Amino acid sequence: MENIEYSNSLYQINEIIKYITPNLKARIPKKFIIYIENNKSENYDWKIDETIPLYEQDLLPTTKEILTVLYKDYMCDDVERAEIEKILNDNEIKYQEELKEKYNPNNMFNNKAKEVTDTVTEDETKEVVAYKESFFRKIINKIKLIFHK
């Protein structure tokens, strides 16, 4: 399922690159463009709507991540790159703080003491919390995936 979403994202990226001005497109490495063309989905059908801005398009999450990396690494100037990196780092710090607060060992043990006093029936079920990968980590993993193929 994840490979299908990834190849669909590459299809969307390929469609978006068609609308990029030639001087910005020239900044993207040819090897990367060839990779996108070779690995994009052949069965996916998505067209860009020229009447609405790119950020309002129906893009897959993976597409947004790849676009962020493309823009940050190849298209923007140094000032914008620094701003984007600051935003990404701030978001990562906020996310890590949320995780730290949510999964703080001290709070977990305090909650355990409260749970012991409550009677739990056998009919109650507990769900496993899925690990959510941070936005910054996803971008790094996608870049690694691209260059390791």
* DSSP H or E run through 10: helix 2-18
- Whether this model's pTM surpasses 0.95: no
Domain ranges of the chain: 2-116+131-148
State pLDDT tens for residues 96-113: 998 888 887 776 666 555
pLDDT of residue 122: 47
Q: Amino acid letter at 31?
A: K
Q: What is the dihedral of CA 51, 57, 58, 59, to 10 degrees?
A: 140
Q: Return the residue matching tokens 């730290």.
A: 100
State pLDDT tens for residues 80-95: 889 988 998 999 999 9
**Sequence-ordered list of residues with C-beta below 8 angstroms from that of 5, at least 6 positions apart, any chain:** 60, 62
